[in-house]
Amino acid sequence: MKVRYDPKDDILYILIREGPVADTDEVDEDVWFEYDERGNVVGIEIWNAGENVIRKSLLEIERYTKALNRKIEA
């Protein structure tokens, strides 16, 4: 598996398996799955990744570390 991020277009691409893409489907807003000829997922594109993935992940990490710090201080 390989992960690439294109900051110019704000697209996160997860390559699961090398090979040709036979079909693409939008499975959620700004989330696209790419399938091979047998219907297996070979790649995932996440558009607006800065907002949809990176920012949300950072907020979750912040919440987790704040809760952890409160436990340590108690």
Q: What is the DSSP letter of 39?
A: S
Specify the pLDDT at position 59.
77
In three-state secondary structure terms, 66 is helix
pLDDT digits (tens, 9 = 90+) for 2-60: 999 998 999 999 999 999 999 999 999 999 999 999 999 999 999 998 877 777 777 78
Residue 69 — pLDDT band, cuts 50, 70, 90?
confident
Tell me, what's the pLDDT at 21?
97
Task: Determine the pLDDT at residue 64.
Answer: 78
Distance CA 12, CA 22 (A): 20
| pLDDT attached to residue 57 | 78
Beta strands across the sheet bearing 41-47: 2-6, 11-15, 41-47, 31-35, 23-28
Cβ pair 34, 23 in contact under 8 A? yes
